[in-house]
Amino acid sequence: MNKTMTVNIAGMIFHIDEDAFYILNQYLERVKEELKNTDGGSEIYQDIETRIGELFSERIKVNRQVISVTEVKEVILIMGEPSDISGSGSKTEYESTSSRTYRRMYRDPDNRIIGGVCSGLGAYWHTDPTILRLIFIILAIFGMAGVLIYIILWIILPEARTVSQRLEMRGEKVNLSSMGEFFRQEFDNVKRSFKK
């Protein structure tokens, strides 16, 4: 079972799986970014969006009405990487910009004990959250500082809810392969928890 969303691509309405939407959205954002400094960039972007809509509508059938990750990946392969589209030059140049990782602090709801603050910080700094928890406990014993800091962090740090936020939290690249890896891991986790 999959949650779907409704999107408007160049004036056509499509139902799209949530994870497929996420991948498509990432792709279109990157295309937009790549075309930003090109003459007539917004027009080119519109043309590309229209073409993607066309390719999707060719793939919609009576018994298959929802765009899934497979269709999105197929269409992205047909359209090409954003760097191909803008013709901004060599592959290496593109890779250096795309491997830029956005790491942000979040609370990690998957490995939390209280509010997920320590597990989130641990993911951010690549440290064992247990050590951070010990530090907070020690701070809490010597006065209220630990408790206070924890509560403040709990309030100001957003929870990592979506796939992209969880990848950002771990400082991993948000792209097709990392998303795929993420879903595989999640799937394994679910399988393991069933076996228990």
Partner 1 sequence: MKVENSKAQMRKGILEYCILLILERGDAYASDIIQKLKEAQLIVVEGTLYPLLTRHKNAGLLSYRWEESTLGPPRKYYALTDDGKAFLKELDLAWKELVQAIDGIKQIP
Name which of 30 and 133 has its Cβ closer to partner 1.
30
Residue 49 Cβ vs partner 1, minimum distance, rounded to whole Å:
10
Name which of 80 and 158 has its Cβ closer to partner 1.
80
Is residue 55 within 8 A of residue 70, CB to CB? The reply is no
Of 33-41, 97-105, 162-170, 173-181: span binding partner 1 (CB under 8 A): 33-41
Q: Does 28 bind partner 1 (CB under 8 A)?
A: no
Count Cβ atoms below 10 Å from residue 139 Cβ, excluding itself. 16
**Which residues have a Cβ under 8 Å from the Cβ of 86 and sit 6 or more positions away?**
34, 35, 38
Task: Return the residue matching tokens 């951010």.
Answer: 124
Residue 115 Cβ vs partner 1, minimum distance, rounded to whole Å:
44
How far is the C-alpha of 148 from the C-alpha of 68, rounded, in Å?
45
The amino acid present at 103, given as its one-letter code, is: R
Q: What are phi and psi of 10, to 5 degrees?
A: 50, 45
Q: How many residues does the chain have?
A: 196
R_g of the chain, CA atoms, integer Å: 21
Name which of 11 and 143 has its Cβ closer to partner 1.
11
Would you give the binding string for partner 1 spanning residues 65-104, x where CB under 8 A is met? ------------xxxxxx-xxxx-----------------
Of the CA atoms within 13 Å of residue 162, those in its CB half-sphere come to 9
Which residue among 16, 24, 35, 179 contacts partner 1 (CB under 8 A)?
35
Name which of 85 and 135 has its Cβ closer to partner 1.
85
Helix (H) / strand (E) element for 114: namely none
Which residue among 25, 26, 50, 68 contacts partner 1 (CB under 8 A)?
50
- List interacting residues with partner 1 (CB under 8 A): 10-12, 31, 35, 38-40, 43-44, 47-48, 50-51, 53-54, 57, 77-82, 84-87
